[in-house]
């Protein structure tokens, strides 16, 4: 009776289930800095692949095309910023203090990641006409918690009652304006220094209070 033989199990490196997510993250990290350095139109994906040490086909396995890769890199940075900015109130912290801390966290993130500012500016300049900018699409997804916070501040009397979307629009314009103009201002001050100015103008306005004494020019 012939002996039954069984195929030998194949030997090799075990499959790493975390590899796809890690590879995608590696590509996005490299792409963020690559686009910030070279721009969008001049960015050569072949050179990016060489920098990472993979074939160009590997990049296109994860991203449909260069525009998809660019937008995903920007989205990843904005996701990270919003995770840091979405703060819970601490013990004894007022709603206004929480709002101030959220704005400070926004500017602090971009101080640490100026490459994300570059991508925001690049998208407006080099992908004009390709749909709504990622920054504003992304921003709309995170507005509801801030609407609720502002409504609570109105209910508690910490801020006066007015249209909540008007407040969000004005604060948002001030923050975005400070963000995209900062690289061109030749200022050595950190972006986070703008947080105090934004909050002072928003909360106190420009008109003097009855208790302010006029100062000589």
Q: Is 84 left (phi over 0), alpha (psi -120 to 50) or beta?
A: alpha
Helix (H, G, I), strand (E, B) or coil at 95: helix
Confidence of residue 2 (pLDDT cuts 50, 70, 90): low
With vertex at residue 140, the alpha carbon angle to CA 107 and CA 77, rounded to the nearest 5 degrees, is 45
> Helices 95-112 and 114-126 meet at what angle, rounded to 10?
80
Q: Mean of the per-residue pLDDT values for the chain?
A: 85
Confidence of residue 70 (pLDDT cuts 50, 70, 90): very high
pLDDT of residue 80: 92
Q: Is pLDDT of 18 > 90?
A: no
CB 89 within 8 A of CB 95: yes
Q: Is 7 left (phi over 0), alpha (psi -120 to 50) or beta?
A: beta
User: Cα torsion for 168, 174, 175, 180, to the nearest 10°?
Assistant: 140
pLDDT of residue 6: 59
- Percent of the chain with pLDDT strictly greater than 70: 85
CB 107 within 8 A of CB 191: yes
Q: Is pLDDT of 83 > 90?
A: no
Q: Which domains does the chain have, with CATH numbers?
A: 74-204 (1.10.357.10)
Q: What is the mean pLDDT of residues 51-71?
A: 95
Q: Is pLDDT of 14 > 80?
A: no
> Helices 66-85 and 95-112 meet at what angle, rounded to 10?
140
The whole-model pTM stands at: 0.82
pLDDT of residue 115: 96
Residues in the chain: 217
Give one DSSP letter per residue of 45-66, joined into a string. Answer: HHHHHHHHTS-HHHHHHH-SSH
- What is the 3 state secondary structure string of 109-160? HHHHCHHHHHHHHHHHHHCCCCCCCHHHHHHHCCHHHHHHHHHHHHHHCCCC
Confidence of residue 213 (pLDDT cuts 50, 70, 90): low
Instruction: Report DSSP state, residue 88.
Output: P
Q: What is the pLDDT of residues 135-186, one digit of tens each?
A: 999 999 888 888 888 898 899 888 889 999 999 998 899 889 989 988 787 7
Confidence of residue 3 (pLDDT cuts 50, 70, 90): low
Q: What is the pLDDT of residues 85-94, one digit of tens each?
A: 665 656 667 7
């Amino acid at each position: 009776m012939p002996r039954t033989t069984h195929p030998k199990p194949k030997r090799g490196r075990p499959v790493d289930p975390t590899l796809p997510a890690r590879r995608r993250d590696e590509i996005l990290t490299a792409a963020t800095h690559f686009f910030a350095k070279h721009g969008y139109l001049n960015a050569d994906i072949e050179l990016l692949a060489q920098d990472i040490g993979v074939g160009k086909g590997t990049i296109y396995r994860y991203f449909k095309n260069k525009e998809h890769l660019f937008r995903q890199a920007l989205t990843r940075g904005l996701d990270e910023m919003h995770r840091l900015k979405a703060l819970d109130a601490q013990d004894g912290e007022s709603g206004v203090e929480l709002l101030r801390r959220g704005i400070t966290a926004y500017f602090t993130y971009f101080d640490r990641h100026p490459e994300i500012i570059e991508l925001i500016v690049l998208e407006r300049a080099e992908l004009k006409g390709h749909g709504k900018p990622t920054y504003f699409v992304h921003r709309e997804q995170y507005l509801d918690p801030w609407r609720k916070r502002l409504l609570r501040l109105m209910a508690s009397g910490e801020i006066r009652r007015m249209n909540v979307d008007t407040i969000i629009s004005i604060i948002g314009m001030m923050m975005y304006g400070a963000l995209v103009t900062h690289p061109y201002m030749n200022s050595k001050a950190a972006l986070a220094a703008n947080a105090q100015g934004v909050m002072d103008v928003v909360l106190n306005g420009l008109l003097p209070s009855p208790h302010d004494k006029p100062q000589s020019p």
